[in-house]
Amino acid sequence: MAKRPHYQLWIDGTWCEGAEGQVMASQNPATGQDWASFACAAPADVDRAVAAARRVLGDPAWRELSATGRGKLLYRLADLLAEHAQEIGRIETVDSGKLLAETASQTGYVADYYRYYAGLADKIEGAVLPIDKPDMQVFTRPEPIGVVAAIVPWNAQMFLTATKLGPALAAGCAVVLKASEVAPAPMLEFARLIAAAGFPPGVVSVITGDAHGCAIPLTRHPDVDRIAFTGGPETARHVVRNSAENFAVTTLELGGKSPILVFEDADLDSAANGLIAGNFGASGQSCVAGSRGLVQRSVLAEITERITARMADVVLGDPLDPATHLGPLATPAQIAGIKDALAQARAQGAEVVFGGAALDRPGNYMAPTLLKTEDPATETLKIEMFGPVLTLMPFDTEAEAIALANDSDFGLGSGLFTRDVARAHRVSARLKAGICWVNTYRAVSPIAPFGGFGQSGYGREAGMEAIRDYTRTKTVWINTSEAP
């Protein structure tokens, strides 16, 4: 029998066990069996990682490396990531249950995020100010914000790491990357590529562990200057409270309850495909999952029929098998939460059109599920399901559709399907969400920023503007007069 892999922490260029010797097991969601183990950070490990980051900010090997030089290291990291995309994708699939077709392709595409920020590294410019004092030459210069705590969840970890690590390294920061204690293996594998790319020791450390040993000491650490967090709203509240200890600049990319609006003039095949892909991609384990399907009443029956016909052909199974369409959920707790929400939705009068149950087999498998309801207070329309559950609700008018879409504490993603260009502009302008996809869904690019409103957090990741979040502006005044 093959020995289970064991992953150590990557701190200051060295692999090590946690200071207190704590080890956790990582479970394969497809089998329900432990497949690997990993070391957990203790507060002393957090101190070492942050101290290494602070030290390297003053090390000439990193401090005096030109912006162009930082860009070259990022290009090298991107090439290594593309080269090892299949390998890292396979490890992520075993660790998280996501389809190999998705993890491998996403990892390969993530390389473009590092290339994008590699190209931006030497384009972070200051400005000469037209100051109102004739004897003064005044200019601004952007400088690295300092030590960054980047905290990523398990569900899209390579992507969400790139949107933090790329701009932070391009700006010249040092990063302590905290991987989720659920499925951290791909992040620890990624640390090997960071080392191979040639970043000086301490520029990036990769750690994982529980809240008390790792996350809390990191987010309240006095030497952390910037926190970039992706996760749930409840954890985010703790992060914000912790940041009061260090006044770290903080951005939050949180959950969502995204609406997809389908108007009667839409291409109904495209709309049905968008609802399926937007909600059941990654088994629904996405912060932008379009789990609120708002459909104009005149086409609701047809949309329901098209969706159920496609759902009947969905293959559930081993996420490593190319024939599989829907893999397991990452944790048993997700199954339990979905069961509770479905029970409440039924009690509120929602109709289960398809699915609605966990599979009686090893692993964390949930059947793709479709509900219909007329009640906007239905539980499955209110909470983030983080599983393959889509709820359809009818609307009659455009105004009603917008009101229903905006009836949420969240505001991350949204989508709408219509052939009416004027309506596309009208509705997209009124949806309270940081992203709006029209006649498509879940498209991403390193060029396009994303982020949310309300309970979906604040700040933006990706795009050119994100790199400014990893710098501080210094204003320099030079007196050019010879007079005393």
Looking at 40, 173, 214, 287, which residue is catalytic? 287
Q: Which of 9, 211, 180 is nearest to 95 (CA)?
A: 180
Q: Give the whole-angstrom CA distance, residue 186 versus residue 90.
A: 9
Q: Which of 290, 251, 341 is nearest to 443 (CA)?
A: 290
Q: Give the whole-angstrom CA distance, residue 250 versus residue 218.
A: 13
Backbone dihedral region for residue 72 (phi beyond 0: left; psi -120 to 50: alpha; all else: beta): alpha
Looking at residue 329, its amino acid is: L
Q: Which of 42, 4, 5 is nearest to 22 (CA)?
A: 42
40 tagged catalytic: no
Using only the alpha carbons of the chain, give its radius of gyration.
24
| Beta carbons of 24 and 214 less than 8 angstroms apart | no
Residue with tokens 């009101």: 403
Residue with tokens 């007069």: 481
Query: Residue 413 to residues 253, 259, 297, 406: CA-CA distances in angstroms?
Result: 12, 7, 23, 11
Alpha carbons within 13 angstroms on the beta-carbon side of residue 172 total 22
Q: Give the whole-angstrom CA distance, residue 10 versus residue 6.
A: 13
With vertex at residue 393, the alpha carbon angle to CA 414 and CA 347, rounded to the nearest 5 degrees, is 120
Tokens of 478: 């030079």
Q: Give the whole-angstrom CA distance, residue 462 versus residue 460.
A: 7
Beta bridge partner(s), residue 260: 293, 415
Q: Which of 259, 299, 216, 305 is nearest to 412 (CA)?
A: 259
| Beta carbons of 77 and 36 less than 8 angstroms apart | no
Looking at 92, 102, 253, 379, which residue is catalytic? 253
287 tagged catalytic: yes
Give the DSSP letter of residue 321.
Answer: S
Catalytically active residues, by annotation: 253, 287
